[in-house]
């Protein structure tokens, strides 16, 4: 969370940067001649977290007690409540500039972030960084998707995973591994999904690789509160989707690849992407 207040505005209220504090008084701002800046992780400085309708909301308060004869008075003359409401898919930076707000509230939207990667075994202890990742036909491949920032109050659910030879097109000439939480490939094996901060699964390299130089994976991810037992994360496989996902559980995608059949020559001019990519 980043909160910036102009020094000229504070001076107009008879305040200075030294008078300001947040809910944890030990968290102090950086003060320059023009701005006062609070910058701290969402889980520190007394920030309160609350689950509301599938969203995670973080709030904190900027307060001021003007100094008098070198002593601090604890009667607050200024209150600015800052909120960050996190969407259940990815994360972006939030930046606020407060100019002429006294006893006001400001709330912005953010997104969680997740990453996807191959691992060498079902123990998921050794990540594979090779790009492209060369595999044998019918080799078992192990994949993990996880939240970038650990938070035990959140669960991650894989809704759909699709393979495609084109990293920019997962609709035409694609192959479903998972659709609406339901396995579509006979070799797809889920180890955990929808009950933790990460999801893990495996599948076997398929004949798709014999006709295409490279194959990429794309997975749609949903993030839910761990204590919501009626969330999409807990409903698992849904063969028939009567309507689109509830707005409280918006989806985004993570992409992994490419995979290359061992010994097969690549197609000239085919672009190779990194073996791990975060949500965009």
pLDDT at 278 over 70: no
**What's the CA gap between 238 and 232, in Å, rounded?**
10
Residues in Cβ contact with 106 at an 8 Å cutoff, skipping those fewer than 6 apart: 80, 81, 82, 83, 96, 98
Q: In angstroms, what CA-CA distances link 126 with 117, 129, 134, 188?
A: 10, 10, 16, 20
**What's the CA gap between 163 and 177, in Å, rounded?**
7
Q: Is the pTM of this model over 0.85?
A: no
Res. 227 pLDDT band, cuts 50 70 90:
confident
Taking residues 134-139, report their average pLDDT: 84
Helices (H), the chain: 7-12, 208-211, 232-235
Kindly state the percentage of the chain with pLDDT values over 70.
Answer: 72
Q: Which residues face 95 on adjacent strands?
A: none
Backbone CA torsion sign across 95, 105, 50, 54: negative
**What local confidence, expressed as pLDDT, does residue 100 receive?**
38
**What local confidence, expressed as pLDDT, does residue 251 receive?**
52
Kindly state the percentage of the chain with pLDDT values over 90.
Answer: 21
User: Which pLDDT tens digit goes with each residue over 71-84?
Assistant: 444 444 667 888 88
Taking residues 214-223, report their average pLDDT: 86
**What's the CA gap between 273 and 131, in Å, rounded?**
7
**What's the CA gap between 143 and 127, in Å, rounded?**
9
Q: What are the structure tokens assigned to 51, written together?
A: 């689950």
**What local confidence, expressed as pLDDT, does residue 189 receive?**
95
135, 136, 140, 142: CA torsion to nearest 10: 0
**What local confidence, expressed as pLDDT, does residue 35 receive?**
93
User: Which pLDDT tens digit goes with each residue over 81-123?
Assistant: 888 877 655 433 333 333 333 455 555 556 677 788 899 999 9
Tally DSSP H helices, then E strands, for the chain.
3, 22
Question: Per mean pLDDT, which range of 52-56, 167-171, 237-241, 243-247 is the poorest?
Answer: 243-247
**What local confidence, expressed as pLDDT, does residue 12 receive?**
82
**What's the CA gap between 159 and 106, in Å, rounded?**
33
User: Which pLDDT tens digit goes with each residue over 20-56?
Assistant: 999 998 999 999 999 999 999 888 999 998 877 667 7
User: Which pLDDT tens digit goes with each residue over 168-202?
Assistant: 888 887 888 999 999 999 999 999 999 998 999 99
């Amino acid at each position: 969370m980043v909160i910036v207040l102009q020094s000229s505005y504070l001076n107009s209220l008879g305040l200075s940067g030294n008078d300001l504090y947040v809910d944890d008084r030990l968290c102090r701002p950086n003060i320059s001649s023009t701005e006062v800046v609070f910058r701290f992780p969402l889980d520190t400085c007394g920030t309160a977290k609350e689950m509301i309708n599938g969203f995670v909301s973080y709030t904190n308060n900027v307060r001021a007690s003007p100094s008098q004869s070198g002593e601090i008075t604890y009667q607050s003359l200024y209150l600015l409540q800052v909120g960050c409401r996190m969407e259940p898919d990815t994360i972006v930076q939030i930046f606020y500039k407060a100019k002429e707000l006294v006893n006001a509230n400001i709330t912005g939207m953010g997104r969680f972030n997740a990453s996807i990667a191959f691992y060498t075994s079902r123990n998921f202890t050794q990540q594979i960084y090779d790009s492209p990742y060369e595999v044998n036909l019918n080799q078992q491949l192990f994949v993990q998707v996880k939240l970038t920032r650990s938070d035990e109050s959140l669960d991650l659910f894989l809704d759909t995973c699709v393979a495609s030879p084109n990293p920019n097109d997962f609709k035409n000439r694609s192959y479903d591994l998972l659709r609406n939480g339901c396995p579509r490939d006979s070799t797809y094996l889920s180890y955990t999904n929808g009950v933790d901060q990460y999801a893990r699964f495996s599948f076997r390299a398929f004949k798709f690789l014999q006709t295409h130089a490279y194959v990429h994976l794309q997975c749609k991810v949903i993030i839910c509160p761990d204590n919501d037992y009626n969330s999409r994360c807990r409903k698992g496989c849904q063969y028939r989707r009567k309507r689109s996902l509830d707005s409280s559980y918006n989806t985004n995608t993570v992409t992994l690849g490419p995979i290359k059949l061992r010994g097969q020559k690549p197609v000239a001019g085919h672009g190779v992407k990194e073996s791990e990519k975060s949500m965009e």
